Amino acid sequence: MGTEVESSTYSRSERTRYRERLESSLQELKAYLADHEFAPAGRIGLELELNLVDGQSQPAPLNREVLAAIDNPAFQTELGRYNIELNHPSLTIRGRGLTELEESLKAELDRADERAVRAGAHLYAVGILPTISGEDLAGEGWISEGNRYTALNAAILEARGEDILIDITGPEHLSYYARDIAPESTCTSMQLHLEVGREQFGPVWNAAQAIAGPQVALAANSPLFLGSRLWAETRIPVFQQSTDTRGPELARQGVRPRVWFGERWIDGIEDLFEENITFFPALLPELSSAGSSTAAGAPRLAELLLHNGTVYRWNRPIYDPGKDEKTDDGGTSPALAASPANLRVENRLLPAGPTVVDMVANAAFFFGLVKYLVETEENPWERMSFAVARTNFYECARQGLNASVYWPGYGDLPVTELLDRHLLPAARHGLELLEVEDEVAERYLSVLTGRTRTGQNGATWMTRSLARFEESGLDRGRALARLVDTYGGHMRDGEPVHTWALP
């Protein structure tokens, strides 16, 4: 939800007009999808949310100062003052594209971290910072500057009508009432973008949903929240519960949550936008005054896209109308040109971290496996119910690499066995179909194989290390600080997480 908004309250007439625009925008999108071409498929992109951490391994609410020190428009604010986000330029995966992504991402983060230190903070790529506490989420000092953040916070609280209960049971149990959506700001992710053609959007989205469980098990890196050991990927329930606009009664009635896995396989992108309008009231009914179309003729659909940004699917549909740019053709006034419209699947379920090579390996798995499933017509979504895919997802978020899942042709089995025997080899085949160089594919797939065979991803390393620190006599608070400090050292060294020694 990166679009700025001007208002934080809206009249009944504004809400009525916004609803009307959503309905007309959906019809406009359907018509455009039927009659127009889009940018060629194949480019990939990445957004990375980062924590700011001070010298005592505690969250540092300094994003304004850090961004000023970094002085790079690729880095932007996020919801919490102790977060920032890097928007990496898109690139092609063909050839050595993944290596170029790793090298570029590392260079950007190293440069930014060096400058951030001058402002009093290190950059950490970790799903949830283990040392964040309830005190950090209290009051108003946690939220970043920007009307869109305060407006979103107010809209969710108004829709819910009461404090937000975070209630999660794992190895330990946490029950915590939040007065606002501050817990959402603790969840930092790596979001992958895959550009797809109109005809392939449905199969690609279905494939991404089908593999969501094994994907999160492989990459889990958020086992702690407010000092408690919870799920392997605790971001999943924290994010869902902290933005839940439903009171308990609506939840029991089956009203859909804003953070939503979905409920069915789809035919095309229009299905998802139609669900958005059907099931989710507008949180920020801001009416746009921008022109109706780009210079290339693509409809802007500003209201539809803003609404889409407040429905938090784990695989989100993206319609991008392209951007107008002024060009100087030698005439008396600059002309307008526009990049072509494109369609993307935004994969949002991965945590940040632990290292750059781990994150690029996670990206290689997603892009390669989706390509394989779509191109080879294995089509697990035609041989597996959607409910099973959803069950796999939540089981893997809870148990990580210890989860068991169902997969067509294999039945019920440990997720590590499914990954090792089928999904990682399939991802390798998919990278071949994407024309990724063999040695590049081998580099990243070997990182993932290392995780499955050692049973160590970020989540297991953190929980095992925390236990070691507590066994040495440290209380939970000091053990968490030591954990963050040790994690930071490994993260900056850059070796993949499955090779990290326990303290």
Instruction: Give residue-wise pLDDT tens across range 399-431.
Output: 999 999 999 999 999 999 999 999 999 999 999
For the chain, what percent of residues have pLDDT higher than 70? Answer: 95
The answer to whether 407 touches 418, Cβ cutoff 8 Å, is: yes
| Tokens read off for 425 | 């080899």
| Tokens read off for 267 | 């035919």
- Can you give the pLDDT at residue 27? 96
Q: Is the dihedral of CA 129, 467, 461, 485 positive or negative?
A: positive
- Can you give the pLDDT at residue 332? 47
Place of tokens 């604010």: 77
- Can you give the pLDDT at residue 1? 46
Cis preceding-peptide flag for 248 (omega within 30 of 0):
no
> CA nearest 204: which of 267, 274, 275, 277?
267
> CA nearest 430: which of 142, 147, 44?
44
Note the pTM of the prediction, 2 decimals: 0.95
| pLDDT tens-digit map of 273-330 | 999 999 999 999 989 877 688 877 899 999 999 999 999 999 999 999 988 765 555 5
Residues in the chain with pLDDT values less than 50 = 1, 332-333, 335-336
- Can you give the pLDDT at residue 428? 98
- Can you give the pLDDT at residue 295? 77
> CA nearest 405: which of 177, 211, 194?
211
Across 255-282, b (16+ Cβ under 10 Å) vs e yields: ebbbbbbbeebbebbbbbbebbbeebeb
Round the average pLDDT of the chain to a whole number and report it. Answer: 94
CA distance 466 to 463: 5
The answer to whether 451 touches 218, Cβ cutoff 8 Å, is: yes
- Can you give the pLDDT at residue 48? 98
DSSP code, position 7: -
Q: What share of the chain is helix, strand, coil (3-state, %, to 5)?
A: 45, 20, 35
CB neighbour list of residue 316: distance below 8 Å, 6 or more residues apart: 308, 345, 346, 348
- Can you give the pLDDT at residue 333? 46
Residue 491 to residues 150, 153, 419, 500: CA-CA distances in angstroms?
32, 32, 25, 10
The dihedral over CA atoms of 193, 194, 199, 205, expressed in degrees to the nearest 10, equals: -70
